[in-house]
Structure 1
Amino acid sequence: MPSAGRTGVGTNQEDVRRHNLGTVLGHVHRAGRISRAELTARMGLNRSTIAGLVTELESLGLTEQVKPSGTRISAGRPSVDVRTRAGAYVLATDVRVDGLTVARVGIGGAVEARATGPIPSSHDPEAIGDSVVELMRLVVKDVKADAALVGIGVSVPGIIRAEDGLVRFAPNLGWHDVPFAQILADRITTPGRPVLGNDADLGALAEHLRGAGVGVDDLIYLSGEVGVGAGVIVGGRPLEGSGGYAGEIGHLPFTPDGKLCHCGSRGCWETEIGAPAIALAVGCPPDRVAALDEFLNGVSEASPDLRTVGRNLGRGLAAAVNLLNPRVIVLGGYLRALYPLVSEDVDAGLGAHALTAPRELVKVSVPGLGGDSVLLGAAELAFGALLRDPVACLATACHDVESVLAS
């Protein structure tokens, strides 16, 4: 048994310091700019400790100290503000059934560059991996020489095994047990492995941290694409389930003996409110579902069929409200463009089926981050290692971006 001497104490002190360093960076990362006085209040540490941590983050190229902004409201020496610097970035990828988006996202959550492209029609994972890497090459062309790549995060519309990035099931891509994290790792020569997450889970994460759910501890983000999934925040923490597979709300039974779903069942909720159902209601041809937002934006008045989709959306949301009692429900994907057209029908379906007490507490909202919720959620996933331990992460980060992407 190892002794509990000075080495153990020193190690513990170092662990605490690194933990505090990551916590300070997390506050600055999420706020973009925050005063040292506010950091002191939030963390419960003394001013000299906070000053030391901030100085270390500055030496790592992650933050900088600047004169305080705004009007002083108290006497005495003004506190210095701390803001992010462009010293670290991640690559975030959103894999959708109808296309791909890759972005370079800096510390602080700002999108510095983005590229979009079609998804291979075969949905072959290897071909998609090649396409993702091509888009990554585009977004790192103008990256600063001293900036460090600290992570790669990927959103996939499917059930992800968190421990190794295995896509257990992505019905709308036709994937079963696809090792997509490894497929990308084989093409990208970074020390760290790409991390994968479910699209709805990542949308919920981003909206909770930066969007319509800031300050809200109980939230549902509904990802409405070809399929429908839910990311759930309960008590300020993500609801993951025992295997990380929670949130497949689109596959809850909705219409007995209804339409055949991509998952193999019949009557799933997503068959009534997913992109194919919306497209049918607005006259969008099946081969143009990728342009569904354009069709919805061109609708001035909802048709009876579209209003039916709205009522079905409200009825399904009522089940989620009764089960989870959220404060906010954020409608993402195509549902973001649908909701303004059928909000009264959604509210009617919700009111008819939700219990009064939880219904009175919930607000239905469009994303505060627009169409970037899932993409920024993938970025937050990729920043995880840096925010846990900035020193260790930067020690293995890539500064030579030309060597990152295999030719």
Structure 2
Amino acid sequence: MAATRRRGTGTNQEAVRRHNLATLLGHVHHSGGVSRAQLTERMGLNRSTIGDLVRELDELAVVSQSVPEAGLHPRAGAGRPSLDVNPDPDSVFVLAVQLGVDSMDVARVGLGGGVLERISRPTPSDRDPEVVVDVVVEMLRQLLRSAEPGSRLVGIAAAVPGVVNDATGLVRFAPNLGWSDVSFSPLLASRIGLRVPVRLGNDAELGALAEHIRGAGRHKSHLIFLSCDVGVGGGVIVEGLPMRGASGYAGEVGHQRFDNGGARCRCGNTGCWETEIGSHAVAAAVGCPDDEIDRLPEYLQPGTRVPPELRRLGRSLGVGLGGLVNVFNPEVVILGGVLRWVFPLVRDDVLDALDAWALEAPAREAQIVLPWLGGDSVIVGAAELAFTDLLADPVGVLARAEGALSTVMGA
């Protein structure tokens, strides 16, 4: 986001100042720390203006300043080194939720994107939305009780494996959870009872966001992130922006038709790609019982003997990736979820099938890689969604956040 120079009336000047304050905080948050000299260069403002903005954020207790370690930032000339501006993760944080078919994770994530604390539990067996929300609220309250005294919660966001609408908080369709038209965000907001925004996103889209900002897709304008567990979803970044579709429902790549005679998918169709490469298909390929699917990574360790069934699955993965490469022409495709363990074992099968199926030019440009954030891509993406309001208006959001935790910190 570009900075804006100050001009016009007092009202306009205030709007410009708050815009620049938000822009600067975004640079600090996404970089995890940046020098004042770098901020001056990135934002195109003079040093005194940058100094004033940093001072205001320091007074709001969202950043701190420090003398850089020797050699950390190159110096342009003589004199004192430019101070580093760092996010304060203990002062401002969000809560992130990742819902899965078999497990649920919640995390407390500080400004700067670092996961401070995380809790995992099995998803309730009946997956009833109200029961799921009650368990999530209990987990979130546990995280809140361990937060630093005086710290401020500025947002909550959840990642769901399905078709969602953030504007209404509606899970339109999540076949692997058995959900249809579930008003998830309003339900979570009412149960937790905090004066903070509760947002909702698709898991693959949020994984793509996190990897674009902090991971394997950093500095890439065109990328695809595959979230692969029981279901398969795709988050797509085009020209540096998420591709959401007309109503936010884009990216359901797991439901492209792959095999006319294939297995029945939970969406109701037959032969969807996710029935060929999802975690249940992987478990069947390596002999992992369905009731032990949480142990699937143990069956996929480096050096493990690769059965023919897993190699066939790798070829199915490669063919599907070839289709995505043909359609989207990405710079990088990032394989998340269970594919993080599958791909290293069947790399040659995947790439051979991709090369055979994809057109030569886009295939040559696309790299197939693992997520730099490991298993945290989706939950870090949910945290980025939760930080959206703070990064748009730090002053207003922090004013509203004061005292927001008073009802639960002692619960």
2:248 counterpart residue number: 244
Identify the residue that residue 76 of structure 2 maps to in structure 1: 74
Letter in 2 for 1:80: L
- The equivalent of 1:4 in structure 2 is none
Q: Is the 1:115–1:135 contact (alpha carbons within 8 Å) kept by the matching residues of 2?
A: yes
Q: Kindly tell me: are residues 282 and 406 of structure 1, through their superposed partners in 2, closer, same or farther at Cα, counting changes over 3 Å?
A: farther
**2:369 corresponding residue in structure 1:** 365
Task: For 2:70 and 2:124, locate their aligned partners in 1 and report how far apart those are by CA, in whole Å.
Answer: 50
Contact 1:278-1:309 at 8 Å conserved across structures: yes
Specify which of 205, 211, 226 is matched with residue 209 of structure 2.
Answer: 205
Greater shift in the superposed pair: 364-373 or 77-86: 77-86
Counterpart Cα distance in 1 of 2:358 and 2:68: 47
Q: Which of residues 246, 260, 265 is equivalent to 1:261? A: 265
**What's 1:228 paired with?**
232
Q: 1:35 matched to which residue of 2?
A: 35
Q: Which residue of the partner structure matches residue 395 of structure 1? A: 399
Q: Provide TM-score, normalisation by structure 2.
A: 0.94
**Aligned counterparts of 1:156 and 1:167: Cα–Cα separation in 2:** 8
Per the alignment, residue 45 of structure 2 pairs with 45
- Can you list the C-alpha shifts for 1:329-365, whole angstroms capped at 9, x where unaligned? 1000001111111111100110000111111111111
The share of aligned pairs that are identical, in percent, is 52
- For residues 375 and 83 of structure 1, the distance between their equivalents in structure 2, rounded to whole angstroms, comes to 22
The equivalent residue for 1:3 is none
Q: After superposition, what is the alpha-carbon deviation per residue over 1:221-263, rounded to whole angstroms, capped at 9, x for unaligned?
A: 0000100000001111000101001100000111113211000
Tell me which amino acid in the other structure corresponds to 1:255: D
CA distance in 1, matches of 2:66, 2:403: 26
How do residues 61-140 of structure 1 correspond to structure 2 at under 5 angstroms?
61-71=61-71, 72-77=74-79, 78-85=81-88, 86-140=90-144
Aligned-pair CA distance for 1:17: 1.2
CA distance in 2, matches of 1:316, 1:164: 32
State the SS of the aligned residue for 1:113: strand
Give the aligned partner of residue 358 of structure 2.
354
Tell me if 1:154 matches 2:158. yes
SS at match of 1:367: coil
Task: State the number of aligned residues.
Answer: 400
Whole-Å Cα distance in 2 between the matches of residues 289 and 406 of structure 1? 37
Q: Which amino acid aligns with 1:247?
A: G
Mapped to 2, the partners of 1:107 and 1:143 lie a distance apart of 13
Range 301-310 or range 186-195, more displaced: 186-195
Is this contact kept in 1: 2:145–2:409, CA < 8 A?
no
Residue segments in structure 1 that go unaligned for 5+ positions in a row: 1-7
Deviation at 1:404?
4.2
Amino acid of the structure 2 residue aligned with 1:84: P
Residue 280 of structure 1 corresponds to 284
Distance (Å, rounded) in 2 between the aligned partners of 1:389 and 1:133 = 27
**Residue 220 of structure 1 contacts residue 230 of structure 1 at CA under 8 Å; is this kept in 2?**
yes
Cα distance change on mapping 1:82 and 1:389 into 2, 3 Å: same
| Matched-pair contact (CA < 8 Å) for 1:125–1:178 | yes
The one-character-per-residue Cα deviations of 1:374-407 (angstroms, maximum 9, x if unpaired) are: 0100000000000000001001115453514897
State which of 186, 189, 196 in structure 1 corresponds to 2:190.
186
Partners of 2:408 and 2:315 in 1: how far apart?
Answer: 48
Pairwise CA distance, 1:145? 1.2
CA RMSD of aligned residues (A): 1.5
Counterpart of 1:218?
Answer: 222
Does the Cα contact within 8 Å between 1:145 and 1:400 map onto a contact in 2?
no
CA distance in 2, matches of 1:30, 1:183: 30
Quote the residue 2:57 is aligned against.
Answer: 57
How far does residue 298 in structure 1 lie from its aligned partner after superposition? 7.4
Pick one of 364, 368, 382 that aligns with 2:386. Answer: 382
Distance in 2 between residues matched to 1:392 and 1:354, nearest whole Å: 49
Change (3 A) 1:284 1:330: same
SS at match of 1:91: strand
Equivalent in the alignment of 1:338:
342
More deviation in 135-144 or 84-93? Answer: 135-144
In 2, the alpha carbon distance for the partners of 1:139 and 1:169 equals 29
> Which segments of 5 or more consecutive residues in structure 2 lack a partner in the other structure?
1-7
Could you say what secondary structure the match of 1:64 adopts? strand
